[in-house]
Structure 1
Amino acid sequence: MPGHIEIKQELELGEPSQDLLDWAKEHINEDPDTKCQLIEEFREMIYSKGECNSIRTDDAFLLRFLRARKFCVESAYKLFMNYHDFREENPNLHEGISIDLLDKILEYDLIRALPYKDQLGRNIIVYKWGKWVPTTIPIDEFLAATKLIAELGILEARNQILGAVVILDFNDFTVQQALYLTPSVARKILQIAATSMPVRLEALHVVHNSWAFEIIFNIFKPFLHEKMIERVFFHGNDMESLHKHVDPKHLPVTYKGSQPEYDCKDWVDGIKKNATILKEISLLGYKIN
């Protein structure tokens, strides 16, 4: 994995490097000798079962699900079904949703896709729950933005292979905010993060968690399976604890790291200008201005 820190305010849409492919072969069973065969087997399973009206079945789309489930076709199919079931159950999270939603999230500094990777080459996404104003950004908009950012991240082969790290920052989070996070909302968040999207969430780091956070964690806990719980780490205000997992060279000064505070303006602007990205998300039902 990379030894230097590269600042990159754009999605990496190219083919994965040979180093990444070698890592994928060892860790997620992506064997170049069998990959095409497994994609075809996966597609045939979708057609033969006929259990959903799939939005896409091209190689690139199916590969996302296989990578997310380490090339186990049966598990990838289950994830594929979960993905489509979630879309059908929650059309408001993509139908009519514009890429401009990211501008609103940026304005309130709620979600940040950091422009550099962690020490293992993984994307880092920061959620600042304490800055969320539910009356200004309804929970469905927050969920829609979370899903959109996940869909954008999945466009990167690197992200499909290595997965991502998420930091949940609960600084200044209040009981009044917690009241909006009902069991139904908790379930949707976990569906986006783990069970209904072809994402590889490798670690979830909770910082500045207070007693107000405990309220919502008790709501989330029934929906967390054992493997997910093993990937959740609580650090409170102890940034040295966080540094045991994410090297401070790959963190902003907010978390006592060495990187400056970057906003996502250039990242969002780049997405809006990239015809390939816009075409990809339009195929998923998003509104392109």
Structure 2
Amino acid sequence: MPCPAYNVELELGEPSRELLEQARVSCGEDPSTRLQAIDELRDMIYERGECTPHRMDDDFLVRFLRARQFVPQRAHRLMVNYYKFKDDYPELFDVYPLDLRRIGDAHVVAVPPYRDQDGRRLLFYRIGPWDPKEIPIDDILKGTIFALELGALEPRNQILGGVALFDLEDLTMQHVWQITPSVASKIVKLLVSSFPATTHAIHIVNNSWIFDKMYSIFRPFLTKSMQARIFFHGYDMASLHKHIHPEHLPERYGGTWQDYAYTIWLEALKDNLTIAKEMMACGYKFREHEVGMSVAKHIREVGGK
């Protein structure tokens, strides 16, 4: 079936009753104590002074609380890790997001316009088309970070979490050599300890013996909880379908969706003023000639910063 347009679901205003119930079950979000938890987290940030968030409003703090079962102490530690990661690796955030189209054009990283059967965002990686000589590993990390930042804007994503699929068809030793312990550490920090996002599951498909060498680099950084969320399917798409229904996968994985433009998730941002403001507040940049009129006007108003 043809793909719909990509849309960041901000769900401005009160989320649906169904989603709020899911927040209670999955995130420990109790409406009767919600404001108390937010205030406790805010007080903790001021009192401890371990990080200086660029925002302190309720909606922003809730992202971190939802990612840590609404326990203020754990949410505070996550926020400290989030800003420390930004400070430790500033080169990964000095990004013009639309420049990331090249990893989409190469069919390496993509966020499809559809979700899985549980309403979770999907993040796809295809390693085979990746040419490390043309696309540095840092560009893939930048694309991953930007996708996580986008996902963190969506209340649905904050509550339900996301799912990553790694397609290792045509994986070579040239690819494996790019995954140093330092790179593996960064990836695990992104997926586990340094972002207000929950990785519900990671699915590995089309993996051969070469992957064992790559995975041996990651394994020391993975907790038992994270290892339990990783599923290896080899070339058995029926195994994958036990977790993600074919109606929510592209045809290449035995699904029903037509292949789509891998840059669709980036192109959709050019005319979205709300998203552009959010991303610019996080330090991302846009060029006037690449975006729509409303976004270009905002760039001029803030001096391109």
Could you state the TM-score of these two structures normalised by the residue count of structure 1? 0.95
Question: Once the two structures are superposed, what CA deviation does each residue of 1:118-157 show, in whole Å capped at 9, x if it has no partner?
Answer: 1111111111112111111111111111101110111111
Measured in 1, the distance between the counterparts of 2:51 and 2:21 equals 34
Question: Once the two structures are superposed, what CA deviation does each residue of 1:53-77 show, in whole Å capped at 9, x if it has no partner?
Answer: 3222221111110011110111111
Measured in 2, the distance between the counterparts of 1:261 and 1:274 equals 24
Specify which of 126, 144, 153 is matched with residue 124 of structure 2: 126
- 2:10 is the counterpart of 1:13: yes
Tell me whether 6-15 or 164-173 shows the greater mean CA deviation: 6-15
Measured in 1, the distance between the counterparts of 2:118 and 2:11 equals 19
Amino acid at match of 1:30: E
Q: What residue number does 1:113 align with?
A: 111
Question: Once the two structures are superposed, what CA deviation does each residue of 1:210-265 show, in whole Å capped at 9, x if it has no partner?
Answer: 12211110000000001100000000000011011111111111111112112244
Q: What residue number does 2:232 align with?
A: 234
Amino acid at match of 2:143: A
Amino acid at match of 2:71: C
Q: How does 1:32-43 map to 2 (within 5 A)?
A: 32-43=31-42
Q: What residue number does 1:90 align with?
A: 89
**How far is the alpha carbon of 1:9 from its aligned partner?**
1.2
Q: What residue number does 1:261 align with?
A: 259
Q: How does 1:45-194 map to 2 (within 5 A)?
A: 45-95=44-94, 97-194=95-192
Tell me whether 37-46 or 53-62 shows the greater mean CA deviation: 53-62
Task: Decide whether the 8 Å contact of 2:38 with 2:58 is kept in 1.
Answer: yes
Gaps of 5+ in 2: 288-305
Three-state SS of the structure 2 residue aligned to 1:130 is: coil
Measured in 1, the distance between the counterparts of 2:266 and 2:87 equals 27
* Matched residue count: 284
CA RMSD of aligned residues (A): 1.4
**How far is the alpha carbon of 1:33 from its aligned partner?**
1.7
Measured in 2, the distance between the counterparts of 1:176 and 1:266 equals 28
Three-state SS of the structure 2 residue aligned to 1:47 is: helix
Measured in 1, the distance between the counterparts of 2:161 and 2:5 equals 17
Could you state the TM-score of these two structures normalised by the residue count of structure 2? 0.90
**How far is the alpha carbon of 1:200 from its aligned partner?**
0.7
Measured in 1, the distance between the counterparts of 2:72 and 2:36 equals 11
Amino acid at match of 2:21: D
Gaps of 5+ in 1: none
